[in-house]
């Protein structure tokens, strides 16, 4: 007897299921439907027959018994699901005592080299993408004829099962979609396109974390991989139009699939629903779906438009990057997006209507063809790409006799000029960003030209304001720095005093055009209607605040800026700069309050100001992932925004994303080659990446430009080159200008060499000096105290170590202070105190402290002799944030459980990444942590009975062999001589 009409029969148990069901209600087997993955390659019929994933698999056909152990370590706990390619099990890795998922390949497919290549591809591609929203793949294995992949076990539900029960509210759908976009952003950055995104491949944890899985169909955008001409790969209901046509799929194809999922999350139905899978595929190639609002009227218009933009038939009309998609969703969350740019829907004529109009249409087309073609070319002409340009604004000559205009108009002109994406503008308040001393006295055109020439800035703008009765006359002049050629003379008249700021935006628009901006003046002026304040007095106070802030007079800046927001409570950028002033005074809670006030007023800011304000919020609160996204978006839109480079580099470095941080630093140097801090940032990134010779060169460039911090980075690089004497010389050179940093560095050098008593003396003295004087530096003192606590541990002086840890915490509760204090407490047996610090770090919102919490927990597990638990915790820490210290700890844990090859691998990784050890916490000298790597690597290689294991002990002794205080040195000598 057949199934009821429209129902789906399960091939495993023959139960009749409701139309559209993805799994059997009786036996839970996967059902054949439009949601099954299609893998069809026309030129290889054997592949198609062997891998027909749309054919359901009966439950138990690919069964591993619960309780069985494969490969000697993976204990099968539960069957999670089956599909055409194989089955997935929940398992325990008994070697490290952690839960994992095991994906087993069907036996009849395991002999196909192409299928194995697909699974190897999943491993290779997924391993190249490391992110909290991407499933972590561990290994590809074989045991007793069974081939499998091990991966992270995610405790939660797949999005498909959630959507079978309910649709999601707008806020929840946006949060899920943004995390999918975050996963795609990092995958696409590595050149990986998923190609099979669907709700079944998205897991939702109860914590709110979203994980994208199954890169089995993924491929590199740079290689053909398994894809061949005419291939249709993916899941029909979630395919892009180009996939449906068998065309090459790039990252925009993934964006289309995410758009379908978001449509389904918001409405509860999948768009492009056809009677058959083929009909569904055809529909998406013919035009847009029904707008989500027509199905669910409560959906906000802006979200409706965002979804439709993601679902544009032509990839060129979609979001081009996952980051752009996420950005619009973020703006909607913040209330700053009201409408996404959507290609107008294509309405299809009925057949009869079309026939009636054919004759008229043909005649009209003949008449209009030439005009339309010419208009099309005009409207679709690509704006010329203008190279980034730096502009220095001299002080206006104020001939009005009214002091309110003095120093006021420049900031408004800068704002107007920076509406052009290619312009980076500086006035007297931003000269300090070039690494120069603040301007005192007059900053006229000759003074500006001299600075522009010395710093390699492209253009100097000067201006004047005159009064003629009730009117005010504005005049501007732009001059090319190198040649002295006048690029533009621009004038404007304001009918009265209240209209002067508006007139400044008018001359700014004209000047932008002269400098190469193709945006129409009306568009420019429209964007400037969100001018932060039209109150002249408020802008004057704001400008005074910027000027005093640049001079390092933070309290005075606060006074001016407070006055600005009193005059205009909606002056958002004044709050942003107030946050900077408060942060520079160490008033971090006030800074956060000010920046949150600014966020509420982003609707009155220009686009560039909004980016800067959001990014600075994340920077202040330590949300480095979102900080990176905002600054990256800012630079994508405004590549000449030189101020964004430094903070973006810091955010990337905090995430230990050194390759991207290095790329940002190189771009900054190319843009402003004479800015010292950019060379310094590049030098530090070169240290982290292990290019010590390059770092020495760039540090030298920074010092030539007057940046004394270059000595600190040179010292790091010299240590990486194993030149401690040269490092000491660099630290001594630093003593004249930055004595506190020099003292920390010299103490760290003493730790590196095993001179622990010398280090303790230097740190105690340095901390006392940091806390003395009119402005005690508690942060610097805290650093020295936690370093002192570590040194006292090395000296076996536990009471002194505990006292130093307490002093560190008394002066600073920063993440690194709590981490090191927690490690000290573990070592001396104060486990309750250590656990309290770990719990506090775990409850922070940022990834960095959460990773540090797991490092402390791992140390506790090792102290209790539970090496397997320690491996699990250290691995979790590294999955959150891949740090040098986390790798070192993981190696020690493997050593404790006698997993010598794994330990050796981690120690080898630490040696290759030794540049990161020079400054584990950014700009703080910490290379004293590095030498023990050689000792522990010797232990691992000794355990493996590796020939030449003594070489590692010799390397350790070459550094600390002269120390009479170091316990490891004595043991290394004994082992090396055996």
Looking at residue 519, what is its pLDDT? 65
Task: Identify the H or E element spanning 99.
Answer: strand 98-105
CA dihedral 921, 922, 927, 930 (to 10 degrees): 60
Cα Rg of the chain, angstroms:
32
**pLDDT at residue 320 above 60?**
yes
CB-CB contact of 479 with 457 (8 Å): no
Contacts of 629 (CB under 8 A, 6+ apart): 323, 326, 327, 330
Looking at residue 283, what is its pLDDT? 82
Give tens-digit pLDDT for 391-402: 999 989 989 888
Helix (H, G, I), strand (E, B) or coil at 133: coil
- Beta strand 16-17 pairing with 38-40: unpaired
Degrees, nearest 5: CA angle 128-132-136: 50
Looking at residue 777, what is its pLDDT? 87
Q: Where do we find the tokens 């002086």?
A: 797
| Span 842-864, average pLDDT | 93
Looking at residue 50, what is its pLDDT? 25
Looking at residue 608, what is its pLDDT? 81
Task: Output the six-digit token pair for 696.
Answer: 């020495």
Could you tell me which residues are beta bridge partners of residue 397? Answer: 464
The pLDDT confidence band at residue 968, using thresholds 50, 70 and 90, is very high
Looking at residue 547, what is its pLDDT? 74
Q: Where do we find the tokens 């050098």?
A: 749
Distance CA 904, CA 938 (A): 9
Max intra-chain CA distance, the chain: 101
Give tens-digit pLDDT for 130-180: 678 888 777 777 777 777 888 888 888 889 989 988 899 899 999 999 999
Contacts of 511 (CB under 8 A, 6+ apart): 416, 417, 461, 476, 478, 488, 490
Give tens-digit pLDDT for 499-529: 788 788 788 888 888 888 876 554 444 444 4
Could you tell me which residues are beta bridge partners of residue 101? Answer: 90, 151
Beta strands in 370-470 (DSSP E): 389-393, 397-398, 423-426, 459-468
Domain ranges of the chain: 8-152, 157-334, 389-531, 539-621
Contacts of 653 (CB under 8 A, 6+ apart): 661, 684, 685, 688, 922
Distance CA 875, CA 856 (A): 13
Q: Which position has the higher pLDDT, 439 or 905?
A: 905
Give the lowest-confidence range in 243-247, 626-630, 888-892: 243-247
Looking at residue 527, what is its pLDDT? 45
If phi > 0 it is left, if psi is from -120 to 50 it is alpha, else beta; for residue 28 that is left
Specify the length of the chain in residues.
978
Most confident of 403-407, 523-527, 820-824: 820-824
CATH homologous superfamily for the domain 389-531: TolB, N-terminal domain (3.40.50.10070)
351-372 core/surface letters (b: 16 or more CB in 10 A; e: else): eeeeeeeeeeeeeeeeeeeeee
Pick the CATH number of 8-152 from 3.30.565.10, 3.40.50.300, 2.10.109.10, 3.30.200.20: 3.30.200.20
| Span 305-333, average pLDDT | 92
Looking at residue 345, what is its pLDDT? 41
**pLDDT at residue 672 above 50?**
yes
To the nearest whole percent, how much of the chain has pLDDT over 90? Answer: 37
The pLDDT confidence band at residue 116, using thresholds 50, 70 and 90, is low
Average pLDDT taken over every residue of the chain: 80
Residue 880's Cα: distance from chain center in Å? 13
If phi > 0 it is left, if psi is from -120 to 50 it is alpha, else beta; for residue 144 that is left
Looking at residue 107, what is its pLDDT? 67
Looking at residue 3, what is its pLDDT? 41
Task: Output the six-digit token pair for 827.
Answer: 């070592």
Q: Which position has the higher pLDDT, 859 or 98?
A: 859
CB-CB contact of 464 with 472 (8 Å): no
The pLDDT confidence band at residue 878, using thresholds 50, 70 and 90, is very high
**pLDDT at residue 192 above 70?**
yes
Q: Which CA distances in Å does 740 have to 122, 443, 597?
A: 50, 34, 35
Task: Identify the H or E element spanning 78.
Answer: strand 74-82
| Span 668-695, average pLDDT | 89
To the nearest whole percent, how much of the chain has pLDDT over 70? Answer: 79
Could you tell me which residues are beta bridge partners of residue 137? Answer: 151
Looking at residue 791, what is its pLDDT? 97
Degrees, nearest 5: CA angle 474-530-646: 90
- Beta strand 69-70 pairing with 74-82: antiparallel
CB-CB contact of 819 with 841 (8 Å): yes
Question: How do the residues of the chain divide into helix, strand and coil, expressed in percent and rounded to 5?
Answer: 55, 10, 35
CATH homologous superfamily for the domain 539-621: Tetratricopeptide repeat domain (1.25.40.10)
289-320 core/surface letters (b: 16 or more CB in 10 A; e: else): bebbbebeeebbebbbbbbbbbbbbebebbbe
End-to-end CA distance of the chain: 81
Give tens-digit pLDDT for 214-273: 764 444 343 333 333 333 444 678 888 888 777 778 899 999 999 999 999 999 999 988
Degrees, nearest 5: CA angle 786-840-882: 70
| Span 857-876, average pLDDT | 96
CB-CB contact of 421 with 387 (8 Å): no
Q: Which CA distances in Å does 576 have to 531, 549, 570, 609?
A: 15, 12, 12, 9
**pLDDT at residue 476 above 60?**
yes
Looking at residue 327, what is its pLDDT? 92
Looking at residue 568, what is its pLDDT? 87
Spell out the alpha helix ranges (H) of 312-350. Answer: 322-334
Task: Output the six-digit token pair for 377.
Answer: 């070319």
Q: Which CA distances in Å does 698 have to 666, 717, 755?
A: 11, 11, 30
Distance CA 335, CA 364 (A): 45
Looking at residue 671, what is its pLDDT? 78
Q: What is the pTM of this model?
A: 0.55
Task: Identify the H or E element spanning 591.
Answer: helix 588-599
- DSSP 8-state secondary structure symbol assigned to residue 207: T
CB-CB contact of 313 with 256 (8 Å): no
Fold annotation for 157-334: Transferase(Phosphotransferase); domain 1 (1.10.510)
**pLDDT at residue 688 above 60?**
yes
Distance CA 457, CA 237 (A): 54
Give tens-digit pLDDT for 941-964: 999 998 889 999 999 999 999 999
The pLDDT confidence band at residue 876, using thresholds 50, 70 and 90, is very high
Distance CA 430, CA 448 (A): 12
The pLDDT confidence band at residue 111, using thresholds 50, 70 and 90, is low
Helix (H, G, I), strand (E, B) or coil at 126: helix
Distance CA 405, CA 10 (A): 80
The pLDDT confidence band at residue 8, using thresholds 50, 70 and 90, is low
Contacts of 645 (CB under 8 A, 6+ apart): 635, 664, 665, 667, 668, 671, 678, 681
CB-CB contact of 240 with 250 (8 Å): no
Distance CA 780, CA 769 (A): 10
Please give the full DSSP string across 837-893, using - where no structure is assigned: HHHHHHTSSSHHHHHHHHHHHHHHHHHTT-HHHHHHHHHHHHHH---HHHHHHHHHH
């Amino acid at each position: 007897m057949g199934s009821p009409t429209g129902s789906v029969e399960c091939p495993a148990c023959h139960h009749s299921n409701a139309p559209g069901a993805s799994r059997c209600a009786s036996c839970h087997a996967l059902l054949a439907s439009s949601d099954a993955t299609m893998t069809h390659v026309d030129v290889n019929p054997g592949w198609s027959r062997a891998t027909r994933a749309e054919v359901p698999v009966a439950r138990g056909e690919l069964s591993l018994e619960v309780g069985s152990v494969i490969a000697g370590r993976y204990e099968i706990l539960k069957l999670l699901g089956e599909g055409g390619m194989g089955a997935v099990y929940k398992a325990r890795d008994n070697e490290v005592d952690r839960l994992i998922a095991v994906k087993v390949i069907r036996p009849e497919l395991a002999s196909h080299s192409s299928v194995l290549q697909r699974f190897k591809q999943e491993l290779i591609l997924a391993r190249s993408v490391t992110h909290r929203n991407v499933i972590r793949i561990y290994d590809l294995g074989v045991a007793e004829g069974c081939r499998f992949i091990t991966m992270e076990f995610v405790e939660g539900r797949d999005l498909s099962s959630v959507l079978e029960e309910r649709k999601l509210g707008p806020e929840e759908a946006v949060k899920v979609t943004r995390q999918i976009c975050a996963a795609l952003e990092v995958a696409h950055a590595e050149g990986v396109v998923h190609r099979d995104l669907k709700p079944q491949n998205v897991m939702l944890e109860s914590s709110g974390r979203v994980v994208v899985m199954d890169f089995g169909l993924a491929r590199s955008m740079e290689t053909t991989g398994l894809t061949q001409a005419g291939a249709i790969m993916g899941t029909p209901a979630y395919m892009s139009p180009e996939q449906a046509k068998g065309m090459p799929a790039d990252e925009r194809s993934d964006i289309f699939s995410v758009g379908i999922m978001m449509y389904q999350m918001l409405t509860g139905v999948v768009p492009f629903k056809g009677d058959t899978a083929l009909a569904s595929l055809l529909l998406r190639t013919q035009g847009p779906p029904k707008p989500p609002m027509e199905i669910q009227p409560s959906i906000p218009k802006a979200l409706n438009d965002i979804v439709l933009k993601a679902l544009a038939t032509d990839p060129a009309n979609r979001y081009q990057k996952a980051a752009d998609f996420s950005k619009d969703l973020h703006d909607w969350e913040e209330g700053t997006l009201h409408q996404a740019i959507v290609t107008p829907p294509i309405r299809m004529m009925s057949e009869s209507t079309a026939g009636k109009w054919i004759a008229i249409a043909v005649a009209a087309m003949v008449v209009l063809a030439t005009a339309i073609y010419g208009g099309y070319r005009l409207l679709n002409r690509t704006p010329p790409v203008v190279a980034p340009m730096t502009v220095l604004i001299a002080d206006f000559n104020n001939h009005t006799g009214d002091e309110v205009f003095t120093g006021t108009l420049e900031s408004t002109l800068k704002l107007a000029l920076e509406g052009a994406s290619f312009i980076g503008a500086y006035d007297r308040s931003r000269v300090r960003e070039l690494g120069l001393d603040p301007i005192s006295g007059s900053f006229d055109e000759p003074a500006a030209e001299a600075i522009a020439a010395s710093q390699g800035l492209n253009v100097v703008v000067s201006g004047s304001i005159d009064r003629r009765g009730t009117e005010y006359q504005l005049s501007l002049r732009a001059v090319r720095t190198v040649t002295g050629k006048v690029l533009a003379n621009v004038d404007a008249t304001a009918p009265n005093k209240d209209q002067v700021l508006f007139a400044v935006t008018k001359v700014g628009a004209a000047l932008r055009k002269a400098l190469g901006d193709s945006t129409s003046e009306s568009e420019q002026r429209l964007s400037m209607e969100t001018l932060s304040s039209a109150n002249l007095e408020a802008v004057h106070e704001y400008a005074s605040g910027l000027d005093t802030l640049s001079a390092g007079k933070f309290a005075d800046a606060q006074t001016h800026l407070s006055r600005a927001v009193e005059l205009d409570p909606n002056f958002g950028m004044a709050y942003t700069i107030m946050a900077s002033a408060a942060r520079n005074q160490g008033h971090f809670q006030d800074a956060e309050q000010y920046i949150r006030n600014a966020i509420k007023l982003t609707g009155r800011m220009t686009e560039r100001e909004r980016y800067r304000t959001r990014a600075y919020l994340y920077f202040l609160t330590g949300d480095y992932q979102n900080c990176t996204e905002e600054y990256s978006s800012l630079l994508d839109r405004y590549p000449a925004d030189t101020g964004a480079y430094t903070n973006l580099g810091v955010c990337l470095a905090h995430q230990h994303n050194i390759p991207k941080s290095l790329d940002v630093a190189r771009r900054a140097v190319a843009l402003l080659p004479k800015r010292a801090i950019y060379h310094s940032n590049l030098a530090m990134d070169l240290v982290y990446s292990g290019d010590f010779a390059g770092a020495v060169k760039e540090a030298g460039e920074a010092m030539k430009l007057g940046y004394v911090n270059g000595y600190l980075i040179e010292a790091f690089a010299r240590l990486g080159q194993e030149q401690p004497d040269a490092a000491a010389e660099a630290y001594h050179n630093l003593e004249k200008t930055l004595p506190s940093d020099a003292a920390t560095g010299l103490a760290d050098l003493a730790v590196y060499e095993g001179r622990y008593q010398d280090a303790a003396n230097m740190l105690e003295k340095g901390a006392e000096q940091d806390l003395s004087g009119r402005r005690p530096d508690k942060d610097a003192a805290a650093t020295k105290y936690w370093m002192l606590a570590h040194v006292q541990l090395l000296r076996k002086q536990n009471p002194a170590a505990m006292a130093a840890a307490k002093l560190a915490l008394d002066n600073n509760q920063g993440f690194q202070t709590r981490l090191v204090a927690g490690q000290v407490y573990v070592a001396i047996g104060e486990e309750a105190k250590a656990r309290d610090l770990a719990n506090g770090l775990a409850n922070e919102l940022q990834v960095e402290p959460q990773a540090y919490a797991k490092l402390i927990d791992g140390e506790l597990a090792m102290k209790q002799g539970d090496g397997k638990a320690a491996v699990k915790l250290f691995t979790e820490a590294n999955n959150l944030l891949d740090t040098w210290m986390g790798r070192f700890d993981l190696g020690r844990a493997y050593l404790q459980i006698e997993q010598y090859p794994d330990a050796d691998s981690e120690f080898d990784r630490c040696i290759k990444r030794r540049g990161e050890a020079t400054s584990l916490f950014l700009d703080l000298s910490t290379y004293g942590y590095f030498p023990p790597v050689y000792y522990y690597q010797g232990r691992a290689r000794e355990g493996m009975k590796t020939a030449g294991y003594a070489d590692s002990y010799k390397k350790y002794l070459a550094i600390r062999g002269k120390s009479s205080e170091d316990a490891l040195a004595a043991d290394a000598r004994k082992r090396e001589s055996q």
